[in-house]
Amino acid sequence: MVRNMLPSLQAATRLARTATRPNVLKPRWEGALQCTKRDFSITPCRPLMETSGFTDEQLTVRDAIFKICENFPDEYWMERDQTETYPHELHAALAKDGWLGIALPENLGGSGLGISEATMMLQSIAESGAGLAGAQSIHANVYATQPVSKFATEDQRDRFLRKIISGEWRTCFGVTEPNTGLETLKLKTLATPTQDGSGYHISGQKIWISSAQVATKMVLLARTTPLEDVKKPSEGLSMFYIDFDLNAPGLEAKKIKKMGGRAVDANQVFFENYFVPKDALIGEEGQGFKIILHGMNAERCLLAGEALGLGYAALDKATTYAKERVVFGRPIGQNQAIQHPLASAFMHLEAAKLATYHAARLYDRSSPSHPEHDSSITSHAVGVACNSAKYLAAEAAFTACERSVMSMGGMGYAAEYHVERYLRECFVPRLAPVSREMIMNFIGEKALGLPRSY
């Protein structure tokens, strides 16, 4: 079986590292992928996306993920979407080969790679045809664990993250609230210390929480000091890594019916005096907003990658169809009215790809623990790059998906041709985790120095 022949992530990354050293005989994976050293790659591992300039590690990740995803064909995703069934098998396959720990420390069983490689992993999952649903089935485990990894104590890290990497536990991310939406600093969920000091009681509501039906843990942002008692609204929020036990008193999750990505549930979550132990607090009380921001920039990169994957997958389907479908005596792709919109969609994806992997590189290299840490990279530069990348990739994906549907005529609208599913899914990167408008507001203020507009 193909899966048994695959290299584990550790083996894959070891190979990539070996391959970048000169004069070293490169090991080969039996029957699996062979990525040779590339200063500038000449052999794309997959069609469509131009792979020049990526590192060996990124291309090794890409190849290995595509191999795993070969076991999950288009029909699997169409069926999961239609029946709204969670893709447990993909999560398990990725966990089995160690991929869930791609950006977590090696001493916890992770691979110690960065968001640059994790973005490639999520892009490749989406691009394989799994789309946003496939990527979202593991997405939070990769980005929401970043602030836990950085700010938790050694003991917390050890207890919390190993089981995420092994796939035994799954994480969801609880920030958005029904009454405050994008105004995160106004969120109302309260964590009140218990009288005996053993922990907190959580009360409040969250909305749109992905994977809450299958999660065992939640990264939760809640207020520990009421808004009226803090100097700045960014103060008084705390980040918790809580047990998410739907059988325990005071916790409920209700599924929301939605347009796309239906294989992965999104939920309203209700807390009513839900007890969490003191030990669930990550970092200092009141510093939760700063802590969680660390995960949010990573999330923007991952989602940009997922959007790119959707866009390339759609273009792949549309160009294949345009070569084969003959009307008026020639393939429809010979008509410039079909060819040019697809060509321009490709160029937009390629440009967004550069912005995405630039942002991921800045994110990684701004970290003092990165081997190629660059102290000149400011948090401002990281924020501008990650937000811009998410915006550009989401728009490029939308253009590619919409044009793919239109260029396939009636079949673009048929579920069995899959592009309608990609089009439904590609709205998510446009509105979450932060909307297009809020990114414009951020860039207007932070990059252009214009007065704050919101």
Cα separation, 250 vs 201, whole angstroms: 9
Q: Which one of the spans 30-38, 167-175, 236-244, 364-372 is the region binding ligand FAD (CB under 6 A)?
A: 167-175
Which CB atom, from 56 or from 299, has the smaller least distance to ligand FAD?
299
Name the residue nearer to ligand FAD (CB basis): 60 or 136: 136
| Rounded Cα gap, residues 344 and 97, in angstroms | 37
Closest by CA position to 47, among listed 394, 315, 307, 306:
315
Note whether 145 and 328 are within 8 A (CB).
no
Instruction: Tell which one of 209, 219, 332, 397 touches ligand FAD (CB under 6 A).
Output: 209
Q: For ligand FAD, which is the closer residue by CB, 16 or 423?
A: 423
Q: Report the nearest approach of ligand FAD to the CB of residue 189 (Å).
A: 11
Residue 104 or 209 with smaller CB distance to ligand FAD? 209
Contact pick of 122, 130, 175, 303 for ligand FAD (by CB under 6 A)? 175
Give the whole-angstrom CA distance, residue 211 versus residue 3: 25
The 219-248 contact track toward ligand FAD, x by CB under 6 A, reads ------------------------------
- Among 29, 72, 99, 173, the residue binding ligand FAD under the rule CB under 6 A is 173
DSSP assignments along 271-287, one per residue = EEEEEEEGGGEESSTTB
Stretch that binds ligand FAD, among 32-40, 97-105, 166-174, 381-389 (CB under 6 A): 166-174
- Count of residues near ligand FAD by CB under 6 A: 23
Mask of contacts with ligand FAD, 180-199, x by CB under 6 A?
-xx-----------------
CA distance 304 to 434: 12
Q: Least distance in Å: CB of 382 to ligand FAD?
A: 20
Contact 383, 363 (CB under 8 A): no
Among 210, 238, 387, 404, the residue binding ligand FAD under the rule CB under 6 A is 210
**CB closer to ligand FAD, 338 vs 401:** 401
Q: Are 265 and 212 in contact (CB under 8 A)?
A: yes
* Rounded distance between C-alpha atoms, residue 106 and residue 149, angstroms: 11
Given a contact cutoff of 8 angstroms between Cβ atoms, the answer to whether 96 and 161 are in contact is no
Instruction: Please give the Cα distance from 421 to 412 (Å, whole number).
Output: 10
Nearer to ligand FAD (CB atom), residue 35 or residue 428: 428
Nearer to ligand FAD, 156 or 189 (CB): 189
Is the CB of 180 or the CB of 339 nearer to ligand FAD?
Answer: 180
Q: Nearest approach, Cβ of 316 to ligand FAD (angstroms)?
A: 24
Site for ligand FAD in 252-291 (CB under 6 A): 258, 261, 266
Q: Please, what is the minimum distance in Å from the beta carbon of residue 379 to ligand FAD?
A: 21
Element (H, E) at 269: strand 266-277
> Torsion-angle region of residue 286: left (phi > 0), alpha (psi -120 to 50) or beta?
left
Task: Provide, rounded to whole angstroms, the least separation between the CB of residue 205 and ligand FAD.
Answer: 11
Burial class for 22, CB neighbours closer than 10 Å (0-12, 13-18, 19+): exposed
User: Distance of CA 4 to CAs 31, 32, 71, 88, 125, Å?
Assistant: 11, 10, 12, 18, 19
Partners of residue 222 on adjacent β-strands: 238
Least gap, CB of 203 to ligand FAD (angstroms): 17
Q: What is the dihedral of CA 384, 388, 391, 392, to 10 degrees?
A: 180
Query: What's the token pair of residue 98?
Result: 């160690």
Quote the CA–CA distance of 354 and 288 in Å, as a whole number. Answer: 31
DSSP-based three-state secondary structure for 192: strand
* CA 154 – CA 164 distance, rounded (Å): 16
In angstroms, what is the minimal distance from the CB of 425 to ligand FAD? Answer: 9
| Cα separation values, 293 from 37, 99, 205, 296, 439, Å | 35, 23, 21, 5, 15
- Report, in Å, the least distance between residue 175 CB and ligand FAD: 4
Using the minimum distance from each CB to ligand FAD, give the nearer residue, 332 or 426.
Answer: 426
Residue of minimal Cβ distance to ligand FAD: 181
Least CB distance from residue 336 to ligand FAD, whole Å? Answer: 35
CB of 344 to ligand FAD, least distance (A): 26
x/- track of binding to ligand FAD for residues 426-445 (CB under 6 A): --x--xxxxx-xx--x----
Q: Considering only residues 200, 208, 346, 398, which one is a binding residue for ligand FAD as defined by CB under 6 A? A: 208
174 touching ligand FAD, by CB under 6 A: yes
Q: Give yes or no for residue 415 binding ligand FAD (CB under 6 A).
A: no
Interface positions with ligand FAD (CB under 6 A): 172-176, 181-182, 208-210, 258, 261, 266, 428, 431-435, 437-438, 441, 454
